[in-house]
Structure 1
């Protein structure tokens, strides 16, 4: 076992001073992901009718998912822009900027007229605003994680960086809760016309809360030390030239987490409601329970990675994800409400959390301070193009091509195999990643 050295341990924050930093990172992450996830759920339930009328159900959902995918394409672009900004200007102003960008884009989606009013311009503007959302999310993750990583005790790096990850699941739970709330407040056609817009508009208040919290936190000590050196460098070019292998492996190691996550959340709503005819409210309640469970298990897995190693835990998680793909569908397809909720809760709170908990530290600690925001964020967000974004589209396409009522070859088997392939790609990538658990994070040798 590698001896703990941690040359910069004297610069780490105390337990008391870490609390507001963790809160700021987690709440900010929750607010930004709330907006991003809420859009994803509406891509299944509302947007096909509001922005893509006239298409058959499958084509409408695929069109909505494709617009949703624009946000995933934008995330690596946001990581490039805001990564460079964060490595040159600082973590704190970057986090405030990304939160403001997502908040404005989200508010504008809430007032955007539908196809009946603007025609083809409506889905085009929707795609543009989703793109801006994605740019903001692409830059937000790195800052939230680096706040906890660069302030915190390196010996607890996995646990501390797992809290912004848990914030994403808080955002998931809040987005589903708001969807249920406003469906009840605006029943039937009222939700299609005005009800779905309310959470987008009300998110402005959460934006102000998030900005207030983030503007009160200090800049990280690691970045301040770097800033004192006044080194001028071309961040993006040098990051890619020096760390292209780590960036690509970071993206691949996320495949087994990203693709299943968006299958377990956005796609399964469409599959459960449109194909199996389950009550949407049942699936929403399952997602709320899953988010609550994941908020507990993600920090637990993060802390576990500090003890047994992040690489090892990630490999265990990929095996668990692959092994659970078929049982998940078997439980989900039963029609038993308890088993359906159990499948949803365990898929996110068990399998997904095992990969998601140690992931932030696993990726961020392999880049030095002056390239960390760019390198870690780019590696993290590239997975949105190769796994997260395409996953619901691929699954919906497989579903649309299936022979109906064919008990010998159910389509969900193909989707389960797809999940296994994604898990296998993460397992192979993890085999080539060096484990920095119990060691200093990578720093320049110059």
Structure 2
């Protein structure tokens, strides 16, 4: 076992001053690690909307090229539950810290290689095939990253502040989006269109290799979490944690996946698909749309911790349900503005769309993490979180492209968003709220087994 008794005992024996230092380091490692992971992931998303159709699918029509590009985008989401299962096993066997180092390396190296990958005009069919392979690696890495990053902060800190501490990993999403989209925006604005489409888009992918080095330095300086260290010291680790969590907590896994529908699916429509729609249907510039997404992501740097802290005070479910209902109410006005509004209104709509997302995404880390006992938490939380990627996040831009092409109206996409919100409301309602429970006590979970 990688996490030895000595390190487990050292974690448990940490004095108050040392523990405070470790809490700060864990929060920083959680935020910076997920920032790097999501920076890489969002780079791909932006490139899939703006660059990949002509680089890797040059002979396709505009519609077919977008569909093919978003299909490779969806592959990464399909791989996420696989990553959650693989790294969930190791995260609940050898510890959060060691597992997170591996996921960080996988993600960074895959992104760096994307930045060096020749296009179809150079190496033919091998180019899109290699692109899909690298996307699979990215998906597997991000599938194992999320739950470990959340638990790293949540299991180190004060139980009364689990919502806020868990949100440090969630903040990595808007920071990664700001850095990834910001890099693309800067290059798109400063380079000629030909230079950007030829080589400029590759620079942010290559820069991810530098960020990985920074992330590794930070993660190597933290100790294992006290909650998992106690499990190791008491010899309570499971030999087959993924099998056990599926057997005993399948209900929580499915509900965790379902509660993500109105958070994840609209998010990828509002940050990725909007790039295609606004540029192709409304003739807006790439730079304008990228700037709108960039400002919206910056807003979440404030709103995610805010709503997470409110969930510590008022309960996760109350804040989360409010966000899900607002998402459903926003669906038709958002696409009405996107289809008929001027540039200023579209900018405001993109900005406001991130508020209900933050109301869900902030408290989500703790809401899902609290649903599983410590010795099964990495795998259980990861599977629940990433399973939604197959049905909500991954297919969203693909289905939106198909719906618009088939129906001719963006309001068909609004219906899609409303259905997702309804699924979320039902799942959140059924999931127990353990905002104030002692999650070190396994009896909190065993009483609810079916």
Q: Place the TM-score, normalised by the shorter chain, in its bin.
A: over 0.9
State TM-score, norm by structure 1. 0.93
Q: Which residue of 2 aligns with 1:220?
A: 225
State TM-score, norm by structure 2. 0.93
2:77 touches 2:394 (CA, 8 Å); kept in 1?
yes
Following the alignment from structure 2 to structure 1, what is the Cα–Cα distance between the partners of residues 313 and 226? 26
Q: Which residue of 1 aligns with 2:9?
A: none
Greater CA drift, 228-237 or 286-295: 228-237
- Asked if 1:290 corresponds to 2:287, the answer is no
Q: Which residue of 2 aligns with 1:406?
A: none
CA 1:57–1:153: 2 relative to 1, 3 Å? same
TM superposition shift of 1:189: 1.2
**Which of 312, 315, 321 is the equivalent residue of 1:306?**
312
Following the alignment from structure 2 to structure 1, what is the Cα–Cα distance between the partners of residues 440 and 45? 36
TM superposition shift of 1:58: 0.7
TM superposition shift of 1:217: 1.1
Q: Which residue of 2 aligns with 1:331?
A: 337
TM superposition shift of 1:14: 5.5
- Asked if 1:78 corresponds to 2:83, the answer is yes
- 1:119-143 residue CA offsets vs partner (Å, 9 max, x unmatched): 1111011000000001100001011
Q: Which residue of 1 aligns with 2:432?
A: 434
Paired residue total = 430
Q: Which residue of 2 aligns with 1:159?
A: 164
1:11 touches 1:221 (CA, 8 Å); kept in 2?
no
Q: Which residue of 1 aligns with 2:3?
A: none
Following the alignment from structure 1 to structure 2, what is the Cα–Cα distance between the partners of residues 16 and 90? 20
TM superposition shift of 1:444: 2.9
- 1:412-440 residue CA offsets vs partner (Å, 9 max, x unmatched): 11101110000000000011100001111
1:365 touches 1:442 (CA, 8 Å); kept in 2?
no
- Asked if 1:202 corresponds to 2:200, the answer is no
1:273 touches 1:280 (CA, 8 Å); kept in 2?
yes
**Which of 29, 43, 67 is the equivalent residue of 1:62?**
67
- Asked if 1:243 corresponds to 2:241, the answer is no
Following the alignment from structure 2 to structure 1, what is the Cα–Cα distance between the partners of residues 438 and 250? 21
Following the alignment from structure 1 to structure 2, what is the Cα–Cα distance between the partners of residues 363 and 173? 25
CA 1:130–1:212: 2 relative to 1, 3 Å? same
1:269 touches 1:283 (CA, 8 Å); kept in 2?
yes
- 1:283-330 residue CA offsets vs partner (Å, 9 max, x unmatched): 111111111111100000000111111012111111111011112123
TM superposition shift of 1:443: 4.1
CA 1:442–1:223: 2 relative to 1, 3 Å? closer
Q: Which residue of 2 aligns with 1:321?
A: 327
1:306 touches 1:437 (CA, 8 Å); kept in 2?
yes
1:259 touches 1:419 (CA, 8 Å); kept in 2?
yes
2:227 touches 2:440 (CA, 8 Å); kept in 1?
no
CA 1:219–1:273: 2 relative to 1, 3 Å? same
Following the alignment from structure 1 to structure 2, what is the Cα–Cα distance between the partners of residues 16 and 290? 32
CA 1:387–1:314: 2 relative to 1, 3 Å? same
- 1:185-229 residue CA offsets vs partner (Å, 9 max, x unmatched): 432211111111111111111110011111111111111111122
TM superposition shift of 1:376: 0.2
- Asked if 1:141 corresponds to 2:146, the answer is yes
Q: Which residue of 1 aligns with 2:421?
A: 423
Following the alignment from structure 1 to structure 2, what is the Cα–Cα distance between the partners of residues 307 and 332? 36
Following the alignment from structure 2 to structure 1, what is the Cα–Cα distance between the partners of residues 440 and 307? 22
- State the SS of the aligned residue for 1:338: helix
- State the SS of the aligned residue for 1:98: helix
Following the alignment from structure 2 to structure 1, what is the Cα–Cα distance between the partners of residues 159 and 227? 12
Following the alignment from structure 1 to structure 2, what is the Cα–Cα distance between the partners of residues 42 and 413? 26
Q: Which residue of 2 aligns with 1:3?
A: none
**Which of 254, 261, 284 is the equivalent residue of 1:255?**
261
Following the alignment from structure 1 to structure 2, what is the Cα–Cα distance between the partners of residues 108 and 173? 22
- State the SS of the aligned residue for 1:151: coil
Q: Which residue of 2 aligns with 1:379?
A: 384
- State the SS of the aligned residue for 2:196: helix
1:185 touches 1:195 (CA, 8 Å); kept in 2?
no
Q: Which residue of 1 aligns with 2:412?
A: 414
1:92 touches 1:214 (CA, 8 Å); kept in 2?
yes
CA RMSD of aligned residues (A): 1.6
2:22 touches 2:156 (CA, 8 Å); kept in 1?
no
TM superposition shift of 1:17: 4.2
- Structure 2's unaligned 5+ residue stretches are 1-11
- 1:239-296 residue CA offsets vs partner (Å, 9 max, x unmatched): 1000000000000000111110000011011000011111221111111111111110
- Asked if 1:278 corresponds to 2:284, the answer is yes
Q: Which residue of 2 aligns with 1:39?
A: 44
Q: Which residue of 2 aligns with 1:266?
A: 272
